[in-house]
Amino acid sequence: MRYLARVLVLGMFGGAILMGGNLAMFINLPSLLIVIGGGLFVSLSFHSPTAVRNALVAGSAGTAANPHDLKKHRNVLGTMRTSVVGCGVLGTLIGLVQMLANLDDPKKLGPAMAVALLTLIYSVLLSELFLAPMSNGLLGEELKNSTDSSEPSAGPSGLLNISAVFSFTVSFVLLFVALD
């Protein structure tokens, strides 16, 4: 059911994109590099490549080969989630700096704004549609396997996305100021 829900959500977003334009507008290599590459490398600065790989495998399966590793895998996925959102915000700032540096050339404003906004889109999609469900699936397994009465932590809070919303708002304000 969870895979069907993800497909439906992505289909809904894809359909909305296609109704308003073409899908190619939403593909931007610099933004993908910032979010996926940056998120991966920041995560690797905290965890070993093996730990990252094992967490992704366990998160995809919804369980770990060793039940004692569930919390460790959730911590790695939480780091990845935080890193991806952080890189999305950083990408927004990079795009805004590019935009402000090129205010005298209106043709360069669009690509810079695309980097600013698409990094946020990519980071929220990756964080909320893939990494959060993986972490929550492992949390469910951890709760099932738990023998003590203490509840495990739920992982990163929704405060991560406050920075994304703030960056989005700042982007639009700067765009309107630049266009006046």
Kindly tell me if the per-residue pLDDT of 175 is higher than 80. Answer: no
In a domain, 73, yes or no: yes
In a domain, 76, yes or no: yes
Q: Global pTM?
A: 0.77
Amino acid 172: pLDDT = 61
Cα 53 to Cα 17, 48, 63, 119, 130, distances in angstroms: 32, 9, 14, 23, 15
In a domain, 133, yes or no: yes
Concatenating the DSSP letter of every residue in 114-136 gives: HHHHHHHHHHHHHIIIIIHHHHH
Amino acid 166: pLDDT = 62
In a domain, 87, yes or no: yes
Is the distance from CB of 91 to CB of 35 less than 8 angstroms?
yes
In a domain, 139, yes or no: yes
pLDDT digits (tens, 9 = 90+) for 132-163: 989 988 888 888 877 655 554 544 455 455 55
**In this structure, which long-range contacts are made by residues 107-112, counting pairs with CB atoms below 8 Å and at least 24 apart in sequence?**
109/175, 109/178
Amino acid 32: pLDDT = 94
For range 47-71, the mean pLDDT:
89
In a domain, 46, yes or no: yes
In a domain, 9, yes or no: no
Least confident interval from 37-51, 99-113, 152-166: 152-166
- What are the φ and ψ backbone dihedral angles of 28, each rounded to 5 degrees? -140, 110
Domain of 36, in residue numbers: 28-145+157-179
- Domain total in the chain: 1
In a domain, 162, yes or no: yes
Cα separation, 143 vs 149, in Å, equals 10
